[in-house]
Amino acid sequence: MIENDLGLHVTQERIVHFQRLLANIRKSANPTEFPAVSSGYRLEIERMQADVLDYLTRPVTHTNEPVEVVV
């Protein structure tokens, strides 16, 4: 569960990292084995994306006030 904007930023970066891993695996994995190899990455990406959407659709409160993130 994402609790602040810093956690949001970290999760978004993890999503990008996992997507890059998946893109590389897609190029190198045996086509018949790819679904089994990629399924764990896909599930983790989907879980993190759900966390991001859950965070972004909650109103700002004192417990999740924005933290400035410099990219």
Q: What is the pLDDT of residues 17-69, one digit of tens each?
A: 999 999 999 999 999 999 999 999 999 999 999 999 999 999 987 655 556 66
Positive or negative, the CA dihedral 8, 10, 11, 16 is positive
Q: What is the pLDDT of residue 61?
A: 78
Give me the residue label for tokens 């949001």.
8
**Which of 70, 42, 45, 50 lies closest to 1 in space, CA to CA?**
50
What's the rounded Cα separation, in Å, for the pair 3 and 59?
12
Averaged pLDDT for residues 6-15: 98
CB 46 within 8 A of CB 18: no
Q: What is the pLDDT of residue 71?
A: 61
Q: What is the pLDDT of residue 14?
A: 98
